[in-house]
Structure 1
Amino acid sequence: MPKQNFENAMKRLEDIVRELESGEVSLEDSLKRFEEGIKLSRLCSKKLDAIEKKVSILLQDEEKEVDEDTLES
C-alpha cells in the first residue's frame, strides 16, 4: 500500500465500508477490502496517536512558558 496521508486513508476506508455494506461485492473481494480496511484503520490510528503526542508536548511547552512568564512578573 503506498504511503497515504490521514485524509486519503479515511476517504478510502469510508469507500470500503460503503462497498461492503452494499452487499454487491463477491466474498473474495469483500475479504480483500476488509483486509485493506484493517490496514487503513491501523494507519489512521497510528497517525492520530502521533498527532495526539505532538499536541500534548506542545501544550506542556506552552504551560511551561506561561509558568516562566508568571514567575518573571
Structure 2
Amino acid sequence: MTTQTTPLHQLSFENALAELEQIVRGLESGQMKLEDAISAYERGAALRRHCEARLGEAEMRVKAIVQKADGSLSEEELNTPADQPIPARRKRAPTRTTQRPQDDAPSAPIWDDNIPF
C-alpha cells in the first residue's frame, strides 16, 4: 500500500486508485480532524488527476493500435511523453447550419443547440 508521502509520478494507476479509495472512505467516515480532512482532500484531488492522466495515456496507446487491411495489427508511434498531462476535453460551441432555401427565400443561419456536448 502507498502512503501520502509517495510522489505521484512513482504511483501506478492501481496504487493511486487504491490510495484514492482509502482517502474517500476516510473522508466519508467523518472521523477525521478538519486539517487532516483538508490534507486528505487535496491529496485525493491530486490522485484523481493522476489517475485521469494515466487513463488518458492508456486510451491513446489503445487508439494507436491499428488493424491493417490483412487483419494484422500494428502499433503507431505516439509523440506524447508519459509524464505530460492529458488536457481536459473542452465543450464545443453549437454548430451553425443554414436552412435550405424554399421558394427563393433567403438562407438564414440557425444554431443547433441540441448537441449533447
TM norm. shorter chain > 0.5: yes
Partner of 1:24 in structure 2? 31
Matches of residues 26-45 of structure 1 in structure 2 within 5 Å?
26-45=33-52
| TM-score normalised according to structure 2 size | 0.52
Query: Matches of residues 40-55 of structure 1 in structure 2 within 5 Å?
Result: 40-55=47-62
**Counterpart in 1 of 2:101?**
none
Aligned pairs, how many?
64
After the TM superposition, list the runs of 4 or more consecutive aligned residues in structure 1 that deviate by more than 2 angstroms.
none
**TM-score, length-normalised on structure 1?**
0.83
* Structure 2: segments with no counterpart, 5+ residues: 1-5, 72-117
For 2:13 and 2:56, how far apart are their aligned partners in 1?
A: 12
Report the counterpart of residue 13 of structure 1 in structure 2. Answer: 20
Unaligned runs of 5+ in 1: none
Larger Rg belongs to: 2
Looking at secondary structure, tell me which structure has more helix per residue.
Answer: 1
The alignment yields a C-alpha RMSD, in angstroms, of 1.2
Q: In proportion to residue count, which structure has more strand?
A: 2
Whole-angstrom distance in 1 between the partners of 2:46 and 2:60: 21
Report Cα offsets for 1:6-40 as digits up to 9, x if no partner: 00000000000000000000110000000000000
